[in-house]
Amino acid sequence: MELTRQNVQDVVDTYIRAWVEKDPDLIMTIFTDEATYHERVLEAPIENREGIRQYWQTKVVESQDRITCKLLSLFLDGTTAIVEWEAEFDDLPQKVRKRMREVAILVFEGRLIASLRELLVVRETCQPLS
């Protein structure tokens, strides 16, 4: 079955909902069992669904709050999608609010993400947390 723009939109909507709601179980539903998640392109990727879940628990659930995210653009070519979004969140360990603009390259197997590579810029919003 051919991957459509709507299929990708649905997966990205789930990704954003899992992030905003800080839900590691929901994020697991959009990745293949052997998926890779490349948060930092010059570092080793996080491997497999369980690794992604652990990353999500540490990076999102335990370290972020008041998350907002807006999808800005989505492109699809075959089984590869490029998405851009902007997000803001409280970085709890650093005690600052951050704004992030990200481009993610998603490679699909069927309707699940097999590979996610993030390219992002993060800035503090000059709003220290109390």
Tokens of 80: 């590869």
Is 80 exceeded by the pLDDT of residue 125? Answer: no
Residue 130: per-residue pLDDT: 64
What CATH class does 5-128 carry?
Answer: alpha beta
The structural domains of the chain, with segments of one domain joined by +, span: 5-128
Q: Is the pLDDT of residue 20 over 80?
A: yes
What is the pLDDT at residue 50?
A: 95
Q: Long-range pairs for 16-24 at CB < 8 Å and ≥24 separation?
A: 16/69, 16/71, 16/85, 18/56, 19/60, 19/67, 19/69, 19/87, 20/67, 20/68, 20/69, 22/60, 22/61, 22/64, 22/65, 22/67, 24/53, 24/56, 24/57, 24/60, 24/61
**Residue 79: both structure tokens together:** 């089984």
